[in-house]
Amino acid sequence: MRQQDYFPLVEKIRCRISTWTSRFLSYDGRLQLIKAVIMSLVNFWASVYLLPSKCIRDIERICGAFLWSGPELKSTGAKVAWSTVCWEKEEGGLGIRDLKVVNRVNVLKIIWRLLTGSSLWGKWIRSNLLKQKNFWEIKEDTRMGSWMWRKMIKMREVARSFHKKTWGMEEILLSGLIIGLRRKF
């Protein structure tokens, strides 16, 4: 994925923040806007695409600037590191979800859809890319498929650790992914 591919997401976030013109929003107000509005935009994109690390850094920089300085988006004046902000409230953070973890969880959801066979996309992948091959046995250095497909192949070992023989527990499994990934990464 190139910068021009995810640029609309970054610009949409910048524009959304610039419309929140009140200089008098408290930290709590800005925190709620980040959690509710910005993270939902990112989650929508991340549910379809694996966001590059540069995109994640850009979004985190914008969110951090908004949290600490308001809609002016000044990059100075951070009270704590962004990684600390992303900790759970019980651990001393502000409870903003870490975008790197969100990105990985969404890739694992895509792998889940491929393995369960419940989606049209999964059926297409199995018939056109896998062609009777096992997803777990494809070589990691493969050139077949898109950039996204190759990233999914690289995430395969993480997915294997969450892979269960019993299906129909998607909600339980995927909520466990967030907790498990936070511990792994």
Q: What is the pLDDT of residue 172?
A: 47
- Classify the C-alpha dihedral 17-23-28-29 as positive or negative: negative
Q: Which of 9-13, 30-34, 123-127 has the lowest mean pLDDT?
A: 123-127
- Classify the C-alpha dihedral 163-183-106-148 as positive or negative: negative
Q: What is the pLDDT of residue 50?
A: 84
On the question of pLDDT at 184 being above 80, the answer is no
For the segment 32-49, the average pLDDT, to the nearest whole number, is 89
The model's confidence at residue 150, banded by pLDDT at 50, 70 and 90, is confident
Query: At a CB cut-off of 8 Å and minimum separation 6, what does 161 contact?
Result: 180
Angstrom distance (rounded) from CA 61 to CA 79: 14
